[in-house]
Amino acid sequence: MTTRTTTRVLVVGGGPGGYVAAIRAAQLGLETTLVEADRLGGACLIRGCIPSKAIIHAAEIYAQICAAQAGGHLGIRVTGDVALDFGGTRAWKDGIIDRLSDGVGALLRRANVKVLHGWAVFQDAKTCRVTLSDGGTIEIQAQDVVLATGSEAVALPGLPFGGDILSSTEALSLAAPPERLAIVGAGYIGLELGLAFAKLGSGVTIVEAADRILPQYDAALTAPVTKAIGRRRIDVHTGARAERFEGGQLRVRQHEGGELAIPADKVLVTVGRRARLDGWGLDAMGVDTERGVVRVDDRCATSMAGVWAIGDLTGEPMLAHRASAQGEMVAELIAGRKRRFDATAIPAVCFTDPEIVTVGAAPGAAGTTTAVFPLSANGRAMTLEGETDGGFVRIVASAQDQRIVGFAAVGRQVSELSGEMCALIEMGAVLEDAAAIIHAHPTQSESLGEAALRALGHALHI
């Protein structure tokens, strides 16, 4: 039997965009219902950002202990055997996910959001039928609908997911690190997990169709990561395409015509993600799409009045923090406030070792000037790494008025600099503003001020 109900706002998808939209709508006094087929938190919390960072952190600690056992690390020596209990690592990782997902549920309850666990399929733009996890069905009509269905991993024609061919979701749930791991795709997901599994003891080989790793970043930013890959003895084949996996070997065709057969126990495919458009009735909604994503304007409004789309469903950049910002904005628009999505600065972080962070304009943009401050001249960076392997902080400013328009950095823990980078850009700071900030010493944040000083022509520590 199908139950019928109505709601002021219906949010489909409980990820970082959907649950934020639901909470904010409820805070503004709007009756709100959220439908989620999986656990609350979405791909980022359950299958992506959080579990991968947990594994990356555990892998780094294990690698440091192994280095101390092998011959001393930072003056620390470990005697006796070092054992990896990966089951324990997984349990620790899953505990973090559980606490965060439960926390999202608590936030939704506190905001009086009605949460339905089930799969929603739309009959028209404002009506959907939810097949509940307990087997029942409920039909919901809403005045406003927020679509936040997220994205999914892209498979390759010759490498469909299943068995020993993994997406990042399965890779983060392995019972043990594979002895031999082949990774297809040298973007941020492939390199983050490749470095982590190499630290955990896997023999890692990476295949990338482009002519270099991390092709979305410039060569200066990727050079320190390339050095780290070499230290971990990870084999990298660029200019090559993976075609199939058979007989325990990944078959690869190189662009110049040669072929490779890479032995592997598991193959991790990380060639990108796409908006999740299928399976929930998009065709019945009359909502326009283009180039594989839902088309929206600068308010995240779709072509159908009262239907909004946020997050990965709307395309790049597919980042959790972008989805959350859009979700908050849409809730306020539904409540009658005037907003538009005009983010000057959306940071992107690659959690490799070392990390890469970028925000705003890249060097070489018309009418800009660029300055670089090396982390080898920063005391805190040296205490974290000893050798910084060419890490740096880079600032980009308008040549006309010195307004800061972009930052980038590569180095250990530089992701933590992204907050100040975004604040300076969003607040319209100029180089003198950044140079005048008194940063705590010793911290890597001092490098932001030093980069600004260098752009002004009077660097102090280089």
Give domain 165-271's CATH architecture.
Answer: 3-Layer(bba) Sandwich (3.50)
Q: How far is CA 93 from CA 66, 96, 200, 304, 394, in A?
A: 21, 5, 15, 41, 34
For helices 188-199 and 49-71, the axis angle rounded to 10 degrees is 40
Q: Is the pLDDT of residue 73 over 80?
A: no
The first and second tokens of residue 185, run together, are: 């795709």
Residues with Cβ within 8 Å of residue 84, at least 6 apart in sequence? 62, 177, 200, 201
What is the helix (H) or strand (E) element at residue 246, kind and residue range? strand 240-246
Q: Domain locations in the chain?
A: 2-45+93-153+274-334, 165-271, 348-456
User: What CATH number does the domain located at 348-456 have?
Assistant: 3.30.390.30
pLDDT over 80 at 299, yes or no: yes
Which residues have CB under 8 Å from 363's CB, separation 6+?
218, 370, 394, 396, 406, 408
Q: Over the stretch 355-369, which tens digit does the pLDDT of each residue have?
A: 999 999 999 888 999
Question: pLDDT per residue over 210-249, tens digit each?
Answer: 999 999 999 999 999 999 999 999 999 999 999 999 999 9
Quick one: DSSP state of residue 213? Answer: S
- What residues contact 59, with CB distance under 8 A and at least 6 apart? 195, 196, 197, 199, 200
pLDDT of residue 387: 66
Residue numbers annotated as active site: 441
Record the tokens describing residue 424, joined without a space. Answer: 């300076």
Helix (H, G, I), strand (E, B) or coil at 334: helix
What pLDDT sits at residue 80?
A: 85
Question: Is pLDDT larger for residue 107 or for residue 388?
Answer: 107
Which residues 6+ apart lie within 8 Å of 172 measured at CB? 47, 48, 51, 52, 55, 93, 193
**Residue 117: what residue type?**
H
Indicate the helix (H) or strand (E) that contains 190.
Answer: helix 188-199
- Which stretches within 297-351 are classed as H helix? 320-334
CB-based contacts of 455, cutoff 8 Å, min separation 6: 369, 370, 371, 395, 397, 402, 431
Mean pLDDT of 63-77: 85
* Neighbour tally for 19: CB within 10 Å: 29
What would the two tokens of residue 391 be?
């890490």
Contacts of 95 (CB under 8 A, 6+ apart): none
CATH of 2-45+93-153+274-334, picked from 3.90.1170.50, 3.50.50.60, 3.40.50.10420, 3.30.450.40, is: 3.50.50.60
Across the range 124-150, mean pLDDT stands at: 96
| pLDDT value at 270 more than 90 | yes
Residue closest to 251 by CA, chosen among 260, 238, 264, 240: 260
CB atoms within 10 A of CB 152: 18
Domain pair 2-45+93-153+274-334 / 165-271, same fold: yes
Q: Please state the rounded mean pLDDT for residues 383-396.
A: 86
Checking if the pLDDT of 72 tops 90, the result is: no
Question: Cβ atoms within 10 A of the Cβ of 413, count?
Answer: 14
pLDDT value at position 386? 63
Q: Tabulate helix, strand, coil % of the chain (nearest 5).
A: 35, 30, 35
pLDDT at 343: 84
